[in-house]
Structure 1
Amino acid sequence: MTARPDASPSGAEDAQMLTALVRLRGALQGATLPLDLPGVDEVRASHDEMVAQLEDYVIPRVMTIDAPLLAVVGGSTGAGKSTLVNSLVGRRVTEPGVLRPTTRSPVLVHHPDDGHWFGQDRLLPDLRRVEHTTNDPDALQLVASETVPQGLAILDAPDVDSVEERNRTLAAQLLAAADLWLFVTSAARYADQVPWGFLKQAADRSTAVAVVLDRTAPEAVQTVSTHLARMLASRGLKDSPLFVVHEGPVDAQGLLPAAHVQDVRGWLDSLAHDAGARAAVVKQTLDGAIRSITHHVHPVADAAAVQLETAATLRDEAERAYERAAADAVKATADGTLLRGEVLARWQEFVGTGELLKSLENRVGWLRDRVVNAVKGKPQQAERVTVAVESGLELLILEHAEQAAERAEAAWQQHAAGVGLLAQAGPDIGRASRDLRRRAERAVRDWQGDVLEMVKAEGADKRSTARFLAFGVNGLSVALMVVVFTHTAGLTGAEAGIAGGSAALGQKLLEAVFGDQAVRGLADRARTMLEERITGLFDTERARYTSLVDGLGLVPGSAEQLRQAARRVDDVRFAAAPRQG
């Protein structure tokens, strides 16, 4: 039984190659290079060229391997490309440029029966298809002509050395999408540097190339063609056909005499009519393009890995700066730092100093009377402590946030990539965010509200007792805050005696109402809630830096995925080579 065509080895190989190439394109698109690192511009250009060639030529060509051979006519300014194309077709299909630079759309001439091969979804998909003359460089003008044999299409491209960048970019894009380069030069321009840069790319990629020495005076043909042939050989293009188009009159249609282009036209016709020769040209260029892409993938993968490492370093430095600041801020809320200045003064006004502390050591009945007398009529003083606590906490948070921002900015300024990200963020990135004071105020007030609710809940069955009534919810809440602020007793010297004694008084007051075990639980819960709110504020501040890194769109593992995708393409190519040899 005869096997179906799509089950043939070559069909299976084409399907495997197409799958591998699509995955390679996806891996390239995932390996972004957004950070401004040394040498990255060159790698970005190589990356973009590979993606473009995969999309413009390699993948569409593998999908339509039987499509006509595309010969792109390219070359230097004034070399006569459009006149040559018109002369090969036998009628004016593309307009030669009178003024330089000439901006117009590329023109693709094909046999009428081959038009379906050049739809929007295939060759050069980014170029809009039109069937009329246009100056839009984003359009591809399609011209059907019976004089072009089936199996061949000729595309007139802009000048590779145009003074207009858009023309140069389009010329490079079109040449990268060609099965065959028909490179046109002249006796005056054949040694120019820019065209030879393109020809070097063709040699590196094993692209099929034919060179046309156009409209050359008879006396110069021998000398120029001999020198040009030597230049081609020395640059890896010794097997490229070299055609000479003699200088001659141009008729009213802008065509050269047919005899002057018959060698070029005859060679193109022979390719069009010889399926084997045409397939060999396509295979040479396609295989060379694929080989070149997989070869150039590895520097991109290396650069992608460096991008990920650098981004991780920047993130780590920002996180360390803010983790340190958050830890220092939390520590300062528990080591007695806050029981200084205004907070300590307002607390002492509320509870007194030694007299009330001494009273706590006496019998309960006497304590009740003394406590009631000591704090009776002091709700306003409790509120003053609350306000002082709020102000002290806010200031502490702001100071440490400023330090974190300064440290993170200084660390990033040591990296070129960090400097670029800082520039994107704006000048305020090195300071605490403008709304931090408002958010800190809200967080502190919310915490104070949490403490108040805890005291209410804990004292639900004690609200009628003398001790609870003596201090009230606000007074007991203030006492609990003071206990939280002296968790690690970090004060030293005379200040420690004053603040420590005052904190011990707060502890005694709470224990007198709730008992020592309940007070330990209340203090631990209040301290945990305060740490969570402070940590949350610093997490938000840190996100100003980490969001810059996250916004880069870097994908972990993208470098290795790219290498694996390139290896898979090479594996498919090598596996197919013996059967095709």
Structure 2
Amino acid sequence: MFDVVTDLRREVAALDFPLEIDGVDDARAQQSRLVSQLDDHLLPRLKELSTPAVVVIAGSTGAGKSTLLNSLLREEISEASVIRPTTREPVVVFNPADAEIVAGTPLVQTVRSVTNANVPRGIALLDAPDLDSVLEENRETAARLLEGADLWLFVTTAARYGDALPWKALEGAMQRGATVAMVLNRAPHASLKTVRGDLLNRLREHHMDNTPLFVVPDAGPHEGLLPATEVAAIERWLRTLGGADRARTVILRTLRGALAALPPWIEQLSEHVENQFRAGEQIHEVAEAALPPVAKDVRQAIESGKLAQGAVESQWSQLLRPARLDKAISRAGLARGSARRGRSRGASLLELVEAVRRAATATLTAAADDADAALRGALEQAPGGASLLTGIDEASARASREGSARAAVDFWIAQTTDRVGAIEATESKQNAAAVRAFGRDGLTALVLASAVGLAPAEELLGRLLGNAGRDLSPEVTSELADSAATLVDREILPTRRALLVPALADDAAVGLRVRLAELAQLT
């Protein structure tokens, strides 16, 4: 009992309500009052220590129980293999700090026991034989271990969740008041929504609405541990489980009244937590929808050639005669000019490159600013969304966007320079003449100007390099458009990070629900 209430106190104190939505002030007030109630009244009266609660990992043959256990512990504890999909030898694993408490209990005398520091204190994880094992001895062992379990972590798959035997066993567990959680293992992505929905309906039909359901994606045939991210939600759930005191009947007699008042309180807090999750989902939805139109607009502006209007066109006009761009092609159709002339042209055309750089940077910066404005507008309309805008230094944010735009354009120009550098002068007379008459820098300037929509540059580039030049220009245009779209998309990253906090996770209320179930068993 002491562990249950202590863990409840920890869960309640750790609650966070980051989004300023309707009811959030009430939620924080309820949280504060409940912590005070537990600190001042209940906990001082609870002095008994709890023994570790046994969490049995159960399921049908081939469900992946042993692999799941090993992955949770980050160690090969229970033998698992795709070629031996059955648990033969039960094994119990507990925290080394609980070894003294566990020593001498019937549990460790009947099954192989192992210590592992990744097991939360106060619980013992038991990998039981398969419920449907072909060996009668294994089935009997599984049934005996499940009878004595405090909590069940039931593992199934998309192919086996409809089997009758596991549901019969689960009904027995619920009748005994055991806490149950379910793992849908090896869930195929293509049918996940359908399978999960059907499984939730079955849980409701069996009056198991509050049963936590965890989904582990299908990793395909493999051996070894699952990635830590795939079992993180289950690990968090296990850490909410504390050792249950099996000798708490006397304490319950004196505390029944106080304990009876806790469930409605916890239910209300759980609802507030789930309201935060739902608000976070809505914020995520509107935020994600705000940026695609901005990305589309900037892409259209770049691909339509608007960037060439104004400064780039003016710079071209100023360079036309000094760089002899109007006399760059001979009657034979080849570039005209010596290597010396090419170096001179290249130096002159660097001013054109700078004009393109300024135009592209201004466009990308404006797109990032538009993305920021669109995102802000969306967040301000969503309940709780304005919470994510507090504490932002506008001047620093604007400078950061401008810096990112400059960096993106510099990288784009560097990429284009590399592309031009890869042109083989020896491949044809046309290429050789173009490289000689304009130099690599001059050709780079023409490609960049053409890519932002300067028609004379595009025409000259085609005459200098033929189809290779004509094909190169739209590719470089596309690269700039992609960079702009990426810059727009990056504006949502702070919002995504803000929504990834544990308080807004879909399992944020699991700890409270577990405590509620434990209290229900005790009262």
Paired position in structure 2 for 1:305: 274
Q: 1:39 aligns with which of 3, 20, 23?
A: 23
Residue aligned with 1:458, SS: coil
1:288 maps to amino acid:
G
Structure 2 SS opposite 1:564: helix
Asked whether the equivalents of residues 382 and 478 of structure 1 are also in contact (C-alpha less than 8 Å), the reply is yes
Provide closer, same or farther for how the CA distance between residues 413 and 282 of structure 1 changes in structure 2, counting only shifts above 3 A.
same
> Counterpart of 1:36 in structure 2: which amino acid?
E
Indicate how the Cα distance of structure 1 residues 52 and 376 shifts in structure 2: closer, same or farther if over 3 A, else same.
same
Match of 2:476 in 1: 526
- For 1:508, the aligned partner's letter is G
Task: In structure 1, give the amino acid aligned to 2:456.
Answer: S
**Partner AA of 1:558 in structure 2:** D
| Alpha-carbon contact 2:451-2:473 (below 8 Å) kept | yes
Cα distance, 1:287 vs structure 2: 2.4
Q: 1:102-181 counterparts in 2 under 5 A?
A: none
Q: CA deviation at 1:47?
A: 1.9
The CA distance in 2 between the partners of 1:507 and 1:547, in whole Å, is 45
Structure 2 distance, partners of 1:423, 1:386, is: 40
Could you say if the C-alpha distance between residues 378 and 518 of structure 1 is closer, same or farther in structure 2, counting changes exceeding 3 Å? closer
Q: Which runs of 5+ in 1 are unaligned?
A: 1-16, 67-278, 487-498, 575-581
Aligned-pair distance for 1:433?
Answer: 1.6
Letter in structure 2 aligned against 1:399: A
C-alpha change, 1:462 and 1:475, in structure 2 (3 Å) is: farther
- Residues 258-278 of structure 1 show CA distances to partners (whole Å, capped at 9, x for unaligned) of xxxxxxxxxxxxxxxxxxxxx
Query: How many pairs align?
Result: 323
1: CA distance, partners of 2:385 / 2:333:
67
Cα distance 1:303–1:478, how it changes in 2: closer, same or farther (>3 A)? same
Matches within 5 A, 1:91-110: none
Deviations 1:146-199 (CA, angstroms, capped at 9, x unpaired): xxxxxxxxxxxxxxxxxxxxxxxxxxxxxxxxxxxxxxxxxxxxxxxxxxxxxx
Superposed CA deviations along residues 7-61 of structure 1, whole A, max 9, x for unmatched, are: xxxxxxxxxx556545544543554212222222222121233344445654564
Match of 1:534, as an amino acid? A
Aligned to 1:399: 366
In our comparison, the structure showing a higher alpha carbon Rg is 1
Tell me if the contact between 1:27 and 1:558 (Cα under 8 Å) persists in the aligned partners: no
Structure 1 residue 336, shift from structure 2 partner: 0.7
Match of 1:556 among 490, 496, 505: 505
The letter for the 2-side match of 1:502 is: P
- Residue number in structure 2 paired with 1:472: 439
Task: Give the alignment's Cα RMSD to 1 decimal.
Answer: 4.0
What do residues 113-152 of structure 1 show as CA deviations (whole Å, max 9, x unaligned)?
xxxxxxxxxxxxxxxxxxxxxxxxxxxxxxxxxxxxxxxx
The 1:312–1:280 alpha-carbon spacing in structure 2 relative to 1, beyond 3 Å, is: closer
Name the amino acid aligned to 1:516: N
Q: Does 1:50 align with 2:4?
A: no
Task: Give the equivalent residue in structure 2 for 1:290.
Answer: 259
* 1:538 maps onto 2:488 in alignment: yes
Deviations 1:299-348 (A, max 9, x none): 21221122122233334434443443334223322221112111123235
CA deviation digits over 1:400-458, x for unaligned, max 9?
222222222233333563344434335x28x9522333332233123212211221123
Question: Aligned residue for 2:307?
Answer: 338
Report the TM-score when normalising by structure 2.
0.52
Distance change (3 Å), C-alpha of 1:56 and 1:64: farther
CA distance in 2, matches of 1:421, 1:317: 13
Secondary structure of the residue aligned to 1:444 is: helix
Residue of structure 1 in register with 2:134 after alignment: none
Partner of 1:508: 462
Q: Distance in 2 between matches of 1:404 and 1:536?
A: 11
Distance 1:401 1:432, change over 3 A: farther
- Cα contact 2:352–2:449 (8 A) shared by 1: no
Moved more, 338-347 or 284-293: 284-293
Preserved contact between residue 27 and residue 561 of structure 1 (Cα < 8 Å): no
**Structure 2 SS opposite 1:424:** coil
> Which consecutive residues of structure 2, in runs of 5 or more, have no partner in the other structure?
51-247
Q: Residues 123-522 of structure 1: matches in 2 within 5 Å?
A: 283-350=252-319, 365-369=332-336, 377-415=344-382, 417-425=384-392, 428=394, 433-459=398-424, 461=426, 465-486=432-453, 499=454, 501-502=455-456, 504-509=458-463, 512-513=464-465, 516=467, 520=471, 522=472
Q: Hey, what's the Cα distance between the residues in 2 that align with 1:56 and 1:371?
A: 92
Identity rate, percent: 21
Helix, strand or coil: the match of 1:558? coil
1:542 Cα deviation from its structure 2 partner: 3.5
User: How far apart, in 1, do the equivalents of 2:381 and 2:436 lie?
Assistant: 60
Matched to 1:38, the amino acid is D
Mapped contact 1:357–1:505 kept (Cα < 8 A): no
CA distance in 1: counterparts of 2:486 and 2:427, whole angstroms: 34
On the 8 A contact 2:451/2:477 being kept in 1, the answer is yes
Aligned partners of 1:31 and 1:558 also within 8 Å: no
Q: Which moved more, 1:48-57 or 1:471-480?
A: 48-57
**Cα distance in 1 for residues equivalent to 2:30 and 2:276:** 16
